[in-house]
Structure 1
Amino acid sequence: MRHQIFAICAGLALATPGIAQDATQGQGVYLQYCATCHAVDATGNGPMAPALVVQPPDLTTLAEQNGGVFPTTRVVWRIDGRDPLVAHGSPMPVYGDFFQGDDTPLKAPSGQPIMTSRVIADLVAYLEGIQQ
């Protein structure tokens, strides 16, 4: 009986749909925190770009540069600081602490869940939606 209850609960948890990301909210976050370096159109030539030693990448070509698959995990980890390169110093600010809270799952292309904050999930939804 105990195993049956566990199986039912596990099945319900898997069947529950994830919370949808809001790309419109993500666009607002992008314009407020990212456009200064990456530009309003996300092509990497924002007003701060000339002052940076390492130029911001074109965020509209992330999927193209990754074999046509949007690199969800890499993007989340780059923003929140879990990317080990970022954690050891990078021109990209780490927003993990700033955007923390309200955890939500995202699904990586592999199908694995990635836990991140609602703000980052919305931002990732926006970035995924502007791919060329």
Structure 2
Amino acid sequence: MHARSIFISLAGFGLLGAGLAACMQLSPPVSGQALYEENCAVCHGPGGRGDGPAAGAYSQPLPDLTTLAARNDGTFPMRQVMSKIDGYTRGARVGEEGMPEMGALLEGDVVRFDSGDGILTPTPVKLIALAEYLETIQR
């Protein structure tokens, strides 16, 4: 009888776990490349070299995103890139020329992420995906 009650208890836990998993809504994987193409390529170009169709609207040349690591002694500056995308280090005021707000990247799922400083920080999944994509296009 004792073994039967353990089996029933374990079966109950299994059903509970399956029920909880079914209730959790998992978001589909986020494509950093798709986010780049939707939000960045118009200015930075399809290859990230600052030559997109809207680049001419800026008085200064746009940065070549494929050389971020090269300009940082060969190390991709993940934290700085993420801060630039989310606007934390930008400081531009409304009406000033500069990178547009990327607020849509801040919406949705958030995970704890270490951007290279050893600190797990709540970070939007889309922001991570975009920054990681930019890391893949480094020359």
d(CA) in 2 for partners of 1:41, 1:120:
19
More relative contact order, 1 or 2 (CA 8 Å, 6+ apart): 1
1:56 has 2:62 as partner = yes
Runs (5+) with no aligned partner, structure 1: 1-21
CA pair 48-88 structure 1, distance change in 2 beyond 3 A: closer
- Structure 2 residue corresponding to 1:125, chosen from 125, 129, 132: 132
Deviations 1:8-58 (A, max 9, x none): xxxxxxxxxxxxxx6x70000101110000000101111111121122110
Return the offset for 1:81: 1.2
Matched pairs, number: 107
Return the offset for 1:107: 2.2
CA pair 88-48 structure 1, distance change in 2 beyond 3 A: closer
Greater Rg over alpha carbons, structure: 2
d(CA) in 2 for partners of 1:45, 1:62:
16
Residue 71 of structure 2 is matched in structure 1 by: 65
CA pair 56-91 structure 1, distance change in 2 beyond 3 A: same
Residue 30 of structure 1 is matched in structure 2 by: 36
Residue 91 of structure 2 is matched in structure 1 by: 87
- Structure 2 residue corresponding to 1:116, chosen from 99, 105, 123: 123
Residue 105 of structure 1 is matched in structure 2 by: 112
Return the offset for 1:98: 1.8
Which amino acid in 1 is paired with 2:46? Answer: V
CA pair 37-26 structure 1, distance change in 2 beyond 3 A: same
TM-score when normalising by structure 2 = 0.69
- How many percent identity over aligned positions? 36
TM-score when normalising by structure 1 = 0.73
Runs (5+) with no aligned partner, structure 2: 1-28
d(CA) in 2 for partners of 1:38, 1:80:
16
Residue 5 of structure 2 is matched in structure 1 by: none
d(CA) in 1 for partners of 2:109, 2:134:
20
Return the offset for 1:114: 3.9
